[in-house]
Amino acid sequence: MDYSKYYLKNYKERKQGSENVKYDNAYYRFYRSEEQLKNQPEIIYEQPPARADEESVRADIEYDPEQFERAYAKRDAEIKRGGTLKRRIWLIALCLCIAALSGASVFLAADIISNGAVIAAIKSDAQENSSVYVSYLQGCVDMESARLQGEEMRKAGLGGYIFSSGGELRVYADVAVERDELCLALGESEFACERMDIAALDLEKYPENMRAHIEKYQDHTRIFLGYTFDILKKVQSGEYDLALALSAAKSAFDEFYAYASEAQSGIEGQPDVALIEFAANIRAEAAFLSALSEAEEINELLADLRYYSLLALFIRLGA
C-alpha cells in the first residue's frame, strides 16, 4: 500500500508565529527554536519496501463493514435478554408476595370472623408440646468426632444436631413428646435421655405496650413442633410416603407462614432488641418448614424433621 499521501512533502514555507504549531507528527523530528525552524525537518521514516502480494494485506487495517453491526446486535440481544429475565424475576416475586398476602388475609379474616377461634385452635394443639424429651450421644472428645457421629445419625434418619452443654459435646439424635417415642440407640451406641420444658416467655423484657401481642404468639415454637411431630409420626407409621410427607410439609409451611406474618405485623418497625429477636425466631421456624421440601429420600426427610425440631427447640430455650 502506498503511504506517500500521509508524508509531509513540502515543509519550506514558514509563517510567523509558527512556534505555536504542534509539530508532533510521528514521522518527523523537529526543533522549536526559530533558527532551526528555517531548515527542513529531517525525515526519519522511510517508505517501506514493496512486499509480495501474499504479504501485502495487513490485518490491522482490514475493514469489515458488518463487524460493528454484529457487535451491537449481540449487545442489544444480551441487554434485551437480561431485561426480560429481570422482568420475569420481578413478576415471579410479585406473584409470590401476592399469594403470601392472600394467605395471610384469609387466615386473618377467618380468625376475626371466628373471634380468634383459629389461633385458639392452634394454641390448644401447642399445649401438648409444653415439654418434650430428647435423646443424645455423650462422650465425644472433640468437634471432629461429634461431626462424624452426627453424619452417621443423619444417614439413619436421626437429627445429628451438635450442641455443647457445660463444656461437653453432645450429638442430639431425636426429640418427641413422649419418652417411649424416642430413638435411644444406634448400632452399638446407646443414647441418654432428658426432658426439656418449653416455658412461657418472660414478658417483662418486652416493651409494656407489646406484651399482650407477644403473649398471644409466644407459643410459636410449640406450634412449629406440632407440625414436625405430626409429619414425623405419619412417615414412621407408613401413612405417608415421601410425596405425601412433602405435600404435608408444604401445607404446614403455608399455615405457619400466615400465622407468623400476623405475629410479625404487630411488631414491624419496633427498635427493641427483644422484639427483633422474637420476630427473627418466628421467621427462622417458617424457614425450617420451607427447607423440608428439599428432601429427596425418606431418611433425609426424617433427619431434617428431627434436626430442625431440635434446632428450633434450642433457639427457644436460649431466648
257-300 tens-digit pLDDT: 999 999 888 787 778 899 989 999 999 999 999 999 999 999 99
| Whether the model pTM is above 0.95 | no
Q: Where are the domains of the chain?
A: 68-124, 131-197, 200-319
- Please identify every stretch of the chain with a pLDDT value under 50, giving residue numbers as ranges: 6-17, 21, 25-34, 45, 54-63, 104, 106-110, 118-127, 319
pLDDT at 161: 94
The closest of 142, 132, 177, 173 to 156, measured between CA atoms, is 173
- pLDDT 10s digits, 95-139: 555 655 555 454 444 455 555 554 444 444 444 558 899 999 988
On whether the CB atoms of residues 315 and 168 are closer than 8 A, the answer is: no
